């Protein structure tokens, strides 16, 4: 009992002697001030004012951007508009954003709520997009084929499965490609 009392008193004495709050602040940088930095090559891109959630950049410089995510607890800048997939050519001097038209969809595009996005390029250089969608706050994976000439997306398939409760991390797992025609 005496040992326990001595250890308790030593612990309390050390706690009073050393300010643990400052070491906590130091380790986590909890109260540091972040100073704004002007980056020399950053520019405002018109067309992405409503925000974006994910970006996928192809080796040829085309960038696909998912935009318009509506989710509980996240501020939506366009709550009454459906989400969209945007395209930007990063090879251009002053890249502009183009909204990709979605064709071939049998589902309701007014509930399109894109989240994560992944791409796959096959041996014929056809580009496929896997987009995590949250229609009515459920989770699906939408499969699209990018049609470069028309600058549009052809909807191929909607994947729903009870084993995909949070597919945003699973779209990066490429084992087989049963959705490619």
Per residue in 15-26, pLDDT (tens digit) is 666 555 556 566
> What radius of gyration do the chain's Cα atoms show?
24
List, as residue ranges, the binding site for Ca(2+): 53-54, 117
Name which residue leads in pLDDT, 61 or 171: 61
So what's the pLDDT on residue 180?
Answer: 53
As a whole number of angstroms, the distance between CA 39 and CA 136 comes to: 38
Whether residue 115 lies in the annotated active site? yes
Q: Which of 43-52, 62-71, 169-178 has the lowest mean pLDDT?
A: 169-178
Name which residue leads in pLDDT, 166 or 131: 131
Which member of 115, 155, 161, 172 is catalytic?
115
**CA distance readout (Å), 157 to 15, 30, 106, 141, 171:** 61, 45, 9, 8, 14
Q: Mean pLDDT over all residues of the chain?
A: 79
So what's the pLDDT on residue 175?
Answer: 41
Alpha carbon 179 to its chain's center: 22
Count of other CB atoms within 10 angstroms of residue 81: 14
Average pLDDT over residues 100-109: 80
As a whole number of angstroms, the distance between CA 119 and CA 60 comes to: 13
Question: Exposed e or buried b for every residue in 1-12, given b needs 16+ CB within 10 A?
Answer: eeeeeeeeeeee
pLDDT at 10 over 90: no
So what's the pLDDT on residue 172?
Answer: 45
Residue 163 — pLDDT band, cuts 50, 70, 90? Answer: low
Query: Which CATH architecture group holds 52-172?
Result: 6 Propeller (2.120)
- pTM to 2 decimals? 0.69
Q: What SS3 state is found at 25?
A: helix
Residue 26, φ and ψ in degrees, nearest 5: -65, -45
Name which residue leads in pLDDT, 52 or 127: 127
Q: Which of 10-19, 49-58, 81-90, 170-179 has the lowest mean pLDDT?
A: 170-179
Name which residue leads in pLDDT, 170 or 117: 117
């Amino acid at each position: 009992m005496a040992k326990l009392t001595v250890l308790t008193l030593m612990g309390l004495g050390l706690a009073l002697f050393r300010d643990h709050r400052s070491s906590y602040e130091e380790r986590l940088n909890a109260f540091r001030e972040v100073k704004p930095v002007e980056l020399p090559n950053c520019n405002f891109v018109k067309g992405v004012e409503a925000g974006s959630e994910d970006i996928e950049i192809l080796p040829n410089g085309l960038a696909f951007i998912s935009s318009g995510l509506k989710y509980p607890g996240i501020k939506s800048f366009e709550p009454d508009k459906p989400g969209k997939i945007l395209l930007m050519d990063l090879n251009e001097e002053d890249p502009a954003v183009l909204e990709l038209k979605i064709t071939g969809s049998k589902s309701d595009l007014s509930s399109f709520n894109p989240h994560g996005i992944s791409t796959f390029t096959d041996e014929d250089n056809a580009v496929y997009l896997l987009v995590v969608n949250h229609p009515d706050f459920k989770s699906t994976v939408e499969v699209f084929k990018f049609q470069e000439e028309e600058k549009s997306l052809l909807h191929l398939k909607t994947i729903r499965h009870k084993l995909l409760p949070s597919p945003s991390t699973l779209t990066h797992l490429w084992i087989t490609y049963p959705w490619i025609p």
